[in-house]
Structure formats: structure tokens, C-alpha cells
Structure 1
Amino acid sequence: MLELGVKFLLSYFIGSILGSSLMGKIYGGVDIRTMGSGNAGGTNALRTQGLAFALGVIIVDVGKGAIAAGLIPGMNIPFIPEDPEVSRTGMIFCCAIASVMGHVWPMWYQFQGGKGAATLIGTLLVLSPAMILPLLLVWIIVLVIFGFVGLATICAGLFTPIYLLITQSSLDGPLFAYCISIALYLIYTHRSNIHRMKEGTEHKNEKMMIFHRKKHD
């Protein structure tokens, strides 16, 4: 269990490195958590700082999820022996989860982070790379029809277990459970977005909507 605990913590620490904070330092101390929606993720970065800043944020946040799921589980750590009682599959999923937890509750930034969508994408790049393109396609379709980034993210999350049911004749149990967790988690972290959509106050990206009609005086 020592190996699992150490690698879980290491993945959490890596997840706690926020792309928005790194980019903020490059941009002269900008903290997007004090701007816009107050979220540390790519959407708020795009709204408040522009495309280049947001791309940097997304690259870091996706990358740390991929590192946690793809590199940390197999890493040889000095003085930490490999535990034969811990399955390698279990190790991978634990490290993936830890990186997302680090992003949402980062110890370096007063436990105030983002919603974890980009970091989840990073973990899926390792766990199920074939899922990424269909996932992004669902996200784009929902966004261009309805204009809500939060709704697009929720729908993409809900699609992950459906994708496995459609494409796998022999279901990968651990991955399916992870995808179910992703769907429920994204609904939970976007509950404020859901409330604002019900109230009609959620920000709508009308530039991305293919069916948007300009209002005439």
C-alpha cells in the first residue's frame, strides 16, 4: 500500500499545478480566479484573457492528467518497492483520480481550482485514446447547437459510458466504472451552470451557434 499511497499523493501534487496559475505568472501575475466566473479552467481563461492564454491553460491541465495516468503508475521510485498486492490497473485509475482531485482542490492554491474537465480528458488520452475524438465531436455538436460550454461538457461526460457500451463487446469493467464516475462528477461540478441555465442567466457563446439569429430592432 506504500507504493499506492506515494503515487496517489504524487499524482495529486501534479494535479494541483494549475495551468491558469502558470500562465498567469507568464502574463504578469494574472489570477483568473478573481475574474469572470472565478473558475480556474480553460473556459474562464478564454473569456477573460483570450485564446493564447486559454490554450496554454488547457495544454497544462490536459498534460498533467496524461502524466498522472500514463507515467506515474509505472514509475520506479527510490526506496519504494513495487507492491504485488496492488493491481497495475487499479494503480492507474487511482493516479488518474488523484490528478483530477488535485486540479479541483489544489493544495498550492488554497484548494480553489477548476472543474477538472481538461484533466479528465488527459486521463482518457491514456485510458481510452480512441474515445477522445468522438467525445470532442459530441462536445462541439452540443456547443454549436445550444451555445453553452457547461452543457457541452456535461453531455460529453454522459457520452463516455455510452461510448463503451456501443463499442465494446466485452465491457471493460474498471474503465466503465470510471466513465460513470466522470459523468456523475461533471454533473456535480457543473450544478451552478445547470441552475443558471434554468434561470436563463448562463453565458451563451452565440458566436459558436450555427442556428443563432441576430435580433433586429
Structure 2
Amino acid sequence: MIELGLKFTAAYLLGSVLGALVMGRFRGGVDIRTFGSRNPGATNALRAQGFPFAAGVMFIDVAKGILPVALLPALDIPGVGIDPLVSRDLIRYSVAAAAILGHVYPLWHGFRGGKGGATAIGVLFVVAPSIALPAVVLWLAVIAITHYVGLATVSVAVAAPVYFGFTALPEEFGLFIFSAWVAAIITYTHRENLQRILAGTEHRANLLRLRR
């Protein structure tokens, strides 16, 4: 369990590094939490600072999901080793959850983080690479049709456990449970977006105007 605890902590701390604030340091200390929706995610970064800045934010936040899940489960920690009593799947999904939680509730930034979508996509590229690209396509399609980024993110998050429920059970029960947890936390972090959509006050995105 020491191995699990250390790797969970490492993934959480990495997840706590917000791409928006890292990019802000390269732009004279810009903190996009003082702009627009005050959310340190790629969508608000795009509105506040333009496409190149937002692309950098997206790259960092996606990488935070990829790197710990790809590297930590098999890492042999000196003095700790690989615990034979802990399954690699448990470590993989625990590390993945930690990276997302770090992004949403970052230790380094007063627990004021993003909504977890980009980091969750990064995780998906490792735990279920066969559906990562279709997930991105679905995300873009929902934005193109509705112009709501938040709705697109929630749609992908909710679609994942439905898909795994039909295709991965009972063999990949852990993947199904993890994807259901991701769907729950993504829906929770986007609850205000969903409320604004219902009220007709949510900001609409236009994929054809991603320039500046």
C-alpha cells in the first residue's frame, strides 16, 4: 500500500500544476482566473488570451493525464519496489483519478482548479487508447452542432461508461467503474455550465473563429 500511496500522491501533485498558470508565467504573470469565467482551463484561456496560449494550456493539461498513468504503475520506486499484493489496474486507475483530482483541486493553487476535461482526455489516451480519438471527434461534433464546450465535455464523459458498459464488462469492470467516476466528477464540475445552458445564458463557442 505504500507504493499505491506514493504514486497516488505523485500523480496528484503533478495534476496540481495548472497549464493556464504555467503559460501565464510566460506571458508576464497573466492569471486567467481573473478573466472571463475565472476558470483556469483551455476554454477560458482561449477567450481571454487567444489560441496559441490556449493550445499551450491544453497541451500541458492533457500531458498531466498521460504521463503519470503511462509511467507510474510500472515504476519501481527505490526502497519501496513493486507491491505484489496491489494490482496494476488498481494503481493505474488510482493514479488516473489522482491526476484529475489534482487538476480540479490543485494543492499549489489554493484548491481552485479547472474542470478536469483535458486531463481526463489525457488519461483516456492511456487507459483506453482505442476510443480516445473517437472521443475527441464526438467532442468536436457536439461543439460544432451546439456550440457549447461544456456540454460537449459532459457528453463525452457520460458516453464513456455507457460504451464500456456494453463492450468491456465483465472483463474490464475496473475500467467501467473508473469511467463512471470520471463521468460523475466531470458532470459535477460542469454543473454551472449545464444550468446556464438550461437558462439560455451559456457562452457559445465558434470553431471557425479560433484565431488571435
What is the 5 A alignment of 1:117-156? 117-156=117-156
Counterparts of 2:167 and 2:26, CA distance in 1: 42
| Larger gyration radius, structure 1 or structure 2 | 1
Conservation of the 8 A alpha-carbon contact between 2:169 and 2:176: no
Instruction: Out of 72-81 and 166-175, give the one that drifted further.
Output: 166-175
Residues 38-89 of structure 1, C-alpha deviation per residue, up to 9 Å, x if partnerless? 1111101111011100110111111011111110111122222221111111
Superposed displacement of residue 136, structure 1: 1.2
Residues 168, 6 of structure 1: alpha-carbon distance in 2 compared, 3 angstrom cutoff: closer
Which amino acid letter does the alignment assign opposite residue 9 of structure 2?
L
Kindly provide the CA deviation profile for residues 161-198 of structure 1, in whole angstroms up to 9, marking residues without a partner as x: 23224544765111111111121211111000011112
Residue in structure 2 matched with residue 30 of structure 1 by the alignment: 30
The corresponding residue for 1:115 is 115
- Comparing 176-185 with 33-42, greater Cα deviation is found at 176-185
Paired letter, 1:116: G
Please, what TM-score do these two structures have when normalized by structure 1? 0.91
- Whether the aligned pair in 2 keeps the contact of 1:15 and 1:99 (CA below 8 Å) is yes
CA contact (8 A) 2:20 2:40 kept: yes
Alpha carbons 1:131, 1:163 under 8 Å: kept? no
The within-5 A match list for 1:1-217 is: 1-168=1-168, 171-205=171-205, 207-208=206-207
1:32 maps to amino acid: I
Percent identical across equivalent pairs?
45
Deviations 1:125-183 (A, max 9, x none): 11001111111121111111111100111111111123224544765111111111121
8 Å Cα contact 1:160-1:179 kept in structure 2: yes
Task: Show the counterpart of 1:212.
Answer: none
Report the RMSD for the aligned CA atoms in angstroms: 1.4
Take 2:111 and 2:169, find their aligned partners in 1: how far apart are those partners?
Answer: 41
Gaps of 5+ in 1: 210-217
Deviation at 1:208, TM superposition (A): 3.5
Q: TM-score, normalised by structure 2?
A: 0.93
| Alpha carbons 2:168, 2:176 under 8 Å: kept | no
In structure 1, distance between residues paired with 2:159 and 2:17 = 28
Task: Measure, in 1, the Cα distance between the counterparts of 2:26 and 2:56.
Answer: 10
Query: How many pairs were matched up?
Result: 208
